[in-house]
Amino acid sequence: MSADPADRPLLTVRGVHRRFGSGPTAVHALRDVSFDLAAGTMVALIGRSGSGKTTLLNVIGGLDRPDSGTVLVDGADVTALDEDGLSRLRREKVSYVFQTFGLIPVLSAAENVGAPLRLARLPAAERERRVELLLELVGLADHAQQRPGELSGGQQQRVAIARALAASPRLLIADEPTGQLDAETGLSVMALLRGVVESEGVTALVSTHDPTMLALADRVIQINDGRLDEREAS
Amino acid sequence: MLRLLVHRARAQWPLLAALLAVAMVGPTLLGACALLVTRTAEQALEAAASRAAPARVDVTAYTVTVRGPDARSVADDTRRVLTSALAPFAATTAARASSMMRSLPATRAGGDGVPAETYLSGVEDLPTRAALVTGRWPRGAAAGVHPGVPQRSDAVRPAAPLEAVVLEPTARLLGLTLGRRVHLGAELGGDPSRPVDVTVVGVVRPLPGTGWDRDPLAATGYDLAYHDGRSVRPVHAYGPFIVDLATLLAGGSTIDRLEITAHPDLSTPTRRGLDTVAEAVLSADRQLARTLGDRVRIERVASRLPSTLLSARDQQQVTAAAVLTVAVLGIVLTATALALAGRLTAGVRADETALLSALGVSRGQFAAAAVVEAGALAVLAAALAIPASSVLHAGLTHLPPLAEAGLAVHPVVTGVHVLAVAGGALALAAVLVALSVRPTPVADDRRHRRELLARSGADVLLVAFAVIGWWQLRDQPTGSGSSVDAIRMLAPALLLTAGAALALRLVVPALRGVERLARRARGLTLPLAAFEAARRPQAVAAGLLIGLACAAATFGVGFDATWQRSQHDQADLAVGTDLALTLGAPPEAGQGAAVGAATGGTVSPATDRGVAVGQWLGNAGDVPRLIAVDTTRAESLLRGRLNDGRRWTDVGAALAPPTRATGVPVPKGAVLTLTGKATGTGKATDTTPLIVTPRLLLQDATGLRIPCDGAPVRLDGKAHPLPACATVEGLRLVAVSLPFAPDLGNVGFGFSDAWAELPAGAGDSRVAVTLTVPETPAPAPVSAPAPAPESASAPASGSASVGAVPGSPWSVTSVEPAPGQLGNPAVALARTPAGVQLKMTTTVGLKGPPDAARTLVATAFPAAGPVPVAVSSRFADEVSARRGSRLNLTVGLTPVSVRVSEVLPTVPSAPGAAAILADSDALSRALVIGGNLDLPVDAWWVGDPTRADAAVRAAALRLGAVTTRASETARLTGGPLRAGLPAALRLLVPATALLLLAGVVLHVTFDLRSRALEVARLRGLGMTRREVRAVLLGQHVGVLLPLLATGAAVGALATRVVAPLLVRSDTGAAPVPVALPIWPWAAEAGLLALLLAGCTLAVTAVVVVQARRVDVAYLRVAS
C-alpha cells in the first residue's frame, strides 16, 4: 500500500553512486548517497570544493546520470527518464539557478522570465501577468526590458530566480547562487530565495559556501568526499 | 612564438584547414581565368585562324598590263613574293590571267558590222573551277611553240594551234564546235602581239564561287555592248578562249590582268607565326612593287589576312576583359569569405590572444605571427591552387562551348598562371594579416560609435566608387576599343559589393520587424529564433558574404543570359534573315527556285549596296547602305529586334507596292520577236532610219528581275528574234526598255555621237514597236486590279488595252532626263494567234539635244511616286530625316526619290549602319521608270527554312557564301575567340555557391560553438532537442532568407544596370542592337532554390551535429 502523497517526500535519493573515470585514477564523486527532502523546505547543501555538491545537484536535476541508485522527484524516477522525460521534468517540476545566472543574453529580463511560460504555452496575457508578478517579487519590475548585459550580477541572479519560479516548479535547485555576488547582494538573493520558498511553496536545494545561508535553511546537508554528513539547521 | 604557432596549428588544424579551403577558391578561380585569357586565348586565336574562310586569309596579287615576254617571270616573281610573305606557313598559289583583247574576224561575230573582240585566258586548276560540258581540257602547247611570240617571219605560224575551251554562250553565239579552229586577230593594244590560232577542244560551264566574277566578261561568255576603253563605241565581246596557263604566260601575249592568289596553310598556326605573316603581308605590296619594277603597269597586293588577325585579337581582348571581370569578382568574393573566416578565427582565439597579450606579447609579435601563419597558408593555398586551377581549366575546356570550339587541352601550368595564383593567394593572405593585427574590439560606447562611423564611411565610399564605376561604364565609348579596361573589370565587383553592403543594412530592420511579429506568438521556438536572428549582431556576420555571393551568382546567371541574348540579337541583325546566300556572281533566272528547293524556305533576292543620299556619301569608309528585299514576306524574311512592339510584317507592309506586277508570262524556250517601224512625221524623204536595242525585264517566281539584252534591231518592219531570254519556266515579262537611235550604219547605240551625225534635215519619227511573246496556255489571273498610275510626271500614261489579255495594266513612259524627246508614248496589250503582243508607239524627236535619252519604257506596273523606305535611326540622325521626309538617293547612276515611312533602330544585315530598307519590287519599279533595268542582286535571303541541313544544301549549290543566323549565333556564342566568357561565367556560379556554402558552414559552426552554453541553458529550461534544433535552424534560415533575397535583388539590379554595359561586340564596340538586360526567371529561381536548399542543408547538418554535442550535460561543466 502506497503512502499518502501529502506525506511523501518531494525528493528521494537512494544509494546514488557516481564515479568519473576508471581504474586507479577513478574519482568517486558520490558514494551511496541517500536522503529525502520534504516539500516546501529550503535545504542547504554544503561542502568543500570537489566534495560532490554539484555532481549531486546534477544527478538530482537530471543533468547527469548516476552509476547506480535512484532519484525520485515528486514520485518520478529521474534516473529512469529518457531525454524527453527529462525535458518534461525540467519544464514542469525542476528548475535551476546557476552560479553564472544562466540567462539568455538576447532576451530581456521579462522575456527570460517568460521563457518557461512560453514553453508551457501559457496564453500571452496570463504570461505577461505572471512575469510582472515574478519581477515584482524579485524587485525588478523597473528593469523588465533590460537585457542581462545591462543588469548587475545581483539583478541577473534575481531574474534567474524569477525565471526558475516562473513555471511553478516543485523543486528548485540552486548551485552556488551567490558565488559571483558580493556578500550584501548574496544575502539579499538568499533572503529572496527564502521568501519565495515560503510564498510559492517551493522546495529548494541550494548548494552554498555562504554561512549566512545556513541560518536561512530549514535543513543543512553536508557532503564530504562524496559521502553525506547531514545535520539539521539550527 | 614559432613554436606556439606550430602547437596552435596542430591543435586548430580543422580551423586552418577551413581557412585553407576558403583561401584556395579565389586563387584557383584566378588561375583558371588566367589560363583562359592566356593559354586558351592564344589557342583560340590559332583555332580561329585555322578555321578562317579562305577569303579571309588568302593573299592576292593583282598585276595589270604585263608585256608578253615578261609574263612568265612576273608570274614567278609574284608567286615568290606571296609565298615568302606567308612564311613560315606553307602556301599554295593559284593564278588566273587574261590577255589583252584581240580582234575577232567579223565572220565569227554574226556579221552585223559591229566590231568583235575576244581574249585568251589561263586558269590554274581549271577542272576545279569549271565543269566540262563536252570535249576535254586543253593541253599545253608543245615546247618551243608559243602563240603570239613574234617569229622570224610573220609568214611562219606556230606548227600547232593552241588548245582552248570556251564557255557555253560563247560556243553558242560563235557557233563553235569541238575541233573548230579559230583565228584570233592581233592584240588591240599599243604593242600588239601577232595573231594566234586556237582549236576548240571543249566547252565548259563555270562553277560559281570560283573567281569567275573577275573574268573580263564575268564569265557570261559574251557582251554585245562591251566597252574596251579604246572607244566610246561598244563592241561585241566574246570569250574567253581558255588555254593552258603556262602556255599563255609563255606565249608572248600581253597579259591584261594577272591575278595570283596564295592560300596559306594555317592548320597548325602559332601566334608568333601569325604575327610574322600579318606584318609581312602588310609590306608585301611594297615588296611586289620593288620586285616587279616596270615590268608591269600596276601591281597591288590585297588580303584580308591582317585585318582578320587584327579583328581576332580585338575579339580576344574583349573576351579577356570579360573573363578578368569574372576573375575579379571571384577574388572579391574569396576575400570576403576569407575576411569572415579570419574574423571567426580571431573570435575563437580571443581568449588566447588576451592571455598572450597579458603575458606581454607585443602587437609586433602578433603581427609577425600573423604574417608567418598567413604566409604559410598562402604558400599552401597557392601550391594546391596551381594544380587545382590547371585541372579545373582543363576540365572546363573539355566542356561546351570550349570543347566545341576545339580548345580542349590537358592540364598545363604556365608562368602567368603561376604568377596569377601566387598573387591572388598573397593578396588574400594580406586580408588575413590585416584582420589579425587589428586591435581587439572593446565593448565601449565611444568605440562602438567610432566603428559604426567607420563602417558607414566605408559603405559610403564603396557606394561612391560603385557609382563612379557605373558612370564610367555607361559613358564608355560606343566605338571599338577592345583593350582590357580597369573600370570595366572592377565596376561589376564594386557595384555588387556596394549593393550587398547596402542591402545588409536593410536586412537588420527587416529582421526586427519579424521579431516584433514573433513576440505575439505563444510558444518559445519561433520567437526565440526571431529574437536571436534580429538581436545578435553576430547573426548577420556572414551577411556580406551571403548577400554578395548570392548577388554574384544571380548576376552571373543574368549576365550570361544577357550576353547570350545579345549575341543572338547581334547575329539576327548581322545576317538579317535566317539564311543568307551571298552571291559570287549575278544571279540567273530560276536560281531562286533552286535555293528554295534546297532550303525549303521563303526565298527573296536581296540587294545590299552603297548609295548616295543627295550629296551625302556617308562618312569615311562607311557609305549609306541600301537593303532591298521582298518586304511582302517580311515576317518570314527579316530578322532583328524591333522596338515598340512593332513587327516586321507591319514594317514590310508599309514598304511594298499594293499589288504585285503580274506581267506577261513567257514560256520556257519561247522566242520573242520584235517588229518595229519608224515613219517620218513630215515628208517621206525626211524619214530617218532608226534602230532600237531592246532590253527586256523578266521576273521569275521568286521576284528576281533579270534584264535580257537584245542586239540592236532595225525598225524596218521585219520581225527580229530576240536572244534566248526565257531560259526557265515561270518567267514573266514586266518591263521593256526601248532606246532609240538613228540607224547610221555601224555607229553608236543610243550615244551622242550618233545623234551628232544626223543629217541636218532630220525630223521626228513616229515609231511603232511590237514585241510578240508566244503565249502560254493561259496567263495567270491577277488577284486585284492595279490602281491608276500615281505619277503625273509620265508624259502620257499608256492607254493599256487590258480587255484582251488578263494581267496588270501596262504603263509607258519616257526616261529622264529629257522625256520630251519622246512624244505621245502609248502601250497596248493584245492577244493574237502569234502570241501576246505588246505594242508600243511614240514619236521620237530627232532634233533635240543629242545627249538627251530617247528611251521608251513600258512597264507592267504604274509609275509610282517616291519609294517608301524604312531607315535606321543612325541614318535618320545623319540626314535629319524623320517619318514623312523625302530624300533623293542615287542607286548606281539612277536617281530614286524615296519617302521615309519608318525609322527603325537598325536595318537587318546592316547593324549600326546608316541604312535604308526598301522593298525590292518598289525599288526596281522606280529604277525601271528611271530607265535602269538593273537592280543589282547580291544575295538570296531565305526565311523559315524547313530543312535541317538547309545551309549545307544551299552551300552545295555553289552560288556563294552561306551565312545563317544559327551559324552566326554559334560563332558569336561558341566561337574559339568568344567561348572564354561563357566558360568563365560557368566557373563563377559554382565558385560563388561554394564560397557561400563554406561561409555559411563556417559561420554556423563558429556561432553554435560560441553559443554552446546558451544552447545548454535552453535544454536546462526544458526545451527538447527538437525544439532547440528548430530554434537554431529557424534563426539561421531566418537570417539566410532575407540575405539571399536581398542578394538576388542586388544581382537583379546589377544585371539590369551593368550587364548590358559589359556586353561588347566583336570589335569591342557597343553591340548593335543595344543589349537588353535579361533576367532568366526560371534559371534564377532554380539557382536561388539550390542555394537556399544547399545552405539549409548545410545549416541543418551543422545544427544537428552541434546540438548533439552541446547537450544539457554541458551545463554541469560550463556552469
The angle formed by the CA atoms of residues B722, B728 and B729, to the nearest 5 degrees, is 110
pLDDT at B143: 45
The string of pLDDT tens digits covering residues B370-380 is: 888 889 999 99
Residue among A63, A83, A105 minimizing CB distance to B1025: A83
- In the predicted structure, residue A224 carries a pLDDT above the cut 80: yes
The verdict on a CB contact (< 8 Å) between B522 and A121 is: yes
**CA–CA separation, B1046 and B498 (whole Å):** 12
pLDDT band at B548 (very low <50, low <70, confident <90, very high): very high
pLDDT at B151: 41
Q: Give the containing element (helix H, strand E) for B90.
A: none
Residue B330 contacts residue B988 (beta carbons within 8 Å): yes
Instruction: Indicate which of A96, A98, A119 best probes the interface with B, i.e. most B CBs within 10 Å of its own CB.
Output: A119
Closest to B1072 measured CA to CA, from B941, B907, B917, B880: B907
CB contact A54 to B (< 8 Å): yes
**B720-734 average pLDDT score:** 85
pLDDT at B1047: 93
CB contact B540 to A (< 8 Å): no
Amino acid at residue number B944: D
pLDDT at B791: 33
Contacts of B520 in chain A (CB under 8 A): 124
- Is there a domain that residue A182 lies in? yes
pLDDT at A15: 92
Write the DSSP string, B695-756.
EEEEE-TTS-EEEEEPPPEE-EEEEEEPP----STTEEEEEEEEEEEE--SS--SS-HHHHH
**Grid coordinates representing B379?**
604558400
Peptide bond into B817 cis (omega under 30): yes
pLDDT at B440: 59
The verdict on a CB contact (< 8 Å) between A87 and B1014 is: no
C-alpha R_g of chain A: 17
**CA–CA separation, B390 and B488 (whole Å):** 26
The verdict on a CB contact (< 8 Å) between A90 and B1021 is: yes
More confident of the two residues B581 and B620: B581
pLDDT at B781: 39
Write the DSSP string, A177-215.
TTTTS-HHHHHHHHHHHHHHHHHH--EEEEE---HHHHH
**CA–CA separation, B1013 and B300 (whole Å):** 88
- In the predicted structure, residue B354 carries a pLDDT above the cut 50: yes
- In the predicted structure, residue B750 carries a pLDDT above the cut 50: no
- In the predicted structure, residue A4 carries a pLDDT above the cut 60: no
**CA–CA separation, B596 and B702 (whole Å):** 9
Number of domains in chain A: 1
**Other beta carbons less than 10 A from residue B849's beta carbon:** 12
The string of pLDDT tens digits covering residues B256-306 is: 999 999 999 988 888 888 889 989 999 999 999 999 998 998 999 999 998
Query: With helix as H, strand as E and coil as C, how does B946-990 read?
Result: CCCCHHHHHHHCCCEEEEEHHHHHHHHHHCCCCCHHHHHHHHHHH
**B21-27 average pLDDT score:** 86
CA B271 to chain centre: 24
The verdict on a CB contact (< 8 Å) between B1116 and A63 is: yes
pLDDT at A143: 92
- In the predicted structure, residue B190 carries a pLDDT above the cut 80: no
Q: What percentage of chain B carries pLDDT values higher than 90? A: 33
C-alpha R_g of chain B: 40
The string of pLDDT tens digits covering residues A149-207 is: 899 888 898 899 889 888 888 899 988 888 777 777 778 778 888 887 888 788 999 88
- Is there a domain that residue A10 lies in? no
Contacts of A98 in chain B (CB under 8 A): 1115, 1119
**Closest residue on chain B to A95 (Cα):** B1021
Contacts of B508 in chain A (CB under 8 A): none
Range of lowest pLDDT (B160-164, B864-868, B1105-1109): B1105-1109
CA B1060 to chain centre: 19
Q: Give the containing element (helix H, strand E) for B855.
A: strand B855-859
The string of pLDDT tens digits covering residues B1007-1036 is: 888 888 888 888 888 888 888 889 889 888
**B91-96 average pLDDT score:** 93
CB contact B1023 to A (< 8 Å): yes
- Is there a domain that residue A71 lies in? no
- Is there a domain that residue A185 lies in? yes
- In the predicted structure, residue B231 carries a pLDDT above the cut 80: no
Range of lowest pLDDT (B350-354, B424-428, B1026-1030): B350-354
**Closest residue on chain B to A99 (Cα):** B1119
The verdict on a CB contact (< 8 Å) between A99 and B1119 is: yes
The string of pLDDT tens digits covering residues B215-224 is: 998 888 888 7
pLDDT band at B561 (very low <50, low <70, confident <90, very high): very high
How many residues does this entry show for chain A?
234
- In the predicted structure, residue B1117 carries a pLDDT above the cut 80: no
Closest to B907 measured CA to CA, from B654, B621, B577, B603: B577
- Is there a domain that residue A47 lies in? yes
The string of pLDDT tens digits covering residues B811-859 is: 888 876 555 678 888 888 888 888 889 999 988 887 766 666 688 899 9
**Grid coordinates representing B841?**
508607239
The verdict on a CB contact (< 8 Å) between A104 and B1116 is: no
Report how far apart the first and last C-alpha atoms of chain A are (Å, whole number): 35
Residue B590 contacts residue B727 (beta carbons within 8 Å): yes
Closest to B556 measured CA to CA, from B59, B1058, B970, B1020: B1058
Beta strands A27-37; A11-20: pairing state: antiparallel
**CA–CA separation, B956 and B748 (whole Å):** 43
**Grid coordinates representing A217?**
535553511
More confident of the two residues B870 and B1072: B870
The verdict on a CB contact (< 8 Å) between A102 and B523 is: no
Three-state DSSP class for residue A175:
strand
State the smallest CA–CA distance between residue A49 and chain B in angstroms: 14
Q: Give the containing element (helix H, strand E) for A156.
A: helix A153-166
pLDDT band at B752 (very low <50, low <70, confident <90, very high): very low
pLDDT at A176: 84
Closest to B1022 measured CA to CA, from A211, A66, A117: A117
The string of pLDDT tens digits covering residues B97-129 is: 999 999 887 554 444 567 889 999 999 999 988
CB contact B423 to A (< 8 Å): no
Within 13 Å and on the Cβ side, how many CA atoms surround A145? 0
- In the predicted structure, residue B746 carries a pLDDT above the cut 50: no
The string of pLDDT tens digits covering residues B602-620 is: 999 999 988 999 888 887 6
pLDDT at B1116: 58
Structure ipTM: 0.88
**Grid coordinates representing B761?**
534635215
Torsion, Cα B1086 B1090 B1093 B1098, to 10 degrees, reads -170
Question: Hey, which residues 88-127 in chain A have their CB within 8 Å of chain B?
Answer: 88-92, 96, 98-100, 102-107, 111, 115-116, 118-119, 121-124
The string of pLDDT tens digits covering residues A95-130 is: 888 878 888 888 999 999 999 999 888 898 999 999
- Across chain B, mean pLDDT equals 84
Residue among A88, A107, A175 minimizing CB distance to B1119: A175
- Domain, as residue range, for A157: 39-64+83-232
CB contact A81 to B (< 8 Å): no
**CB-neighbour burial class of residue B7 (10 A; exposed 0-12, middle 13-18, buried 19+):** exposed
**CA–CA separation, A120 and A114 (whole Å):** 10
**Closest residue on chain B to A61 (Cα):** B1020
Closest to B666 measured CA to CA, from B609, B595, B722: B722
Residue among A96, A106, A118 minimizing CB distance to B524: A118
**Grid coordinates representing B1036?**
539561421
- In the predicted structure, residue B601 carries a pLDDT above the cut 60: yes
State the smallest CA–CA distance between residue A217 and chain B in angstroms: 23
What is the CATH number for A160?
A: 3.40.50.300
**Grid coordinates representing B451?**
566603428
pLDDT at B443: 52
**CB-neighbour burial class of residue B717 (10 A; exposed 0-12, middle 13-18, buried 19+):** exposed
Three-state DSSP class for residue B767:
strand
**CA–CA separation, B126 and B381 (whole Å):** 64
**Other beta carbons less than 10 A from residue A126's beta carbon:** 11
**CA–CA separation, A69 and A59 (whole Å):** 10
**B471-489 average pLDDT score:** 71
**Helix orientation angle between B271-282 and B41-51, rounded to the nearest 10 degrees:** 50
Alpha helices of B1011-1057 — where are they, by DSSP H?
1012-1020, 1025-1057
The verdict on a CB contact (< 8 Å) between A99 and B520 is: no
**B948-964 average pLDDT score:** 90
**Other beta carbons less than 10 A from residue B297's beta carbon:** 11
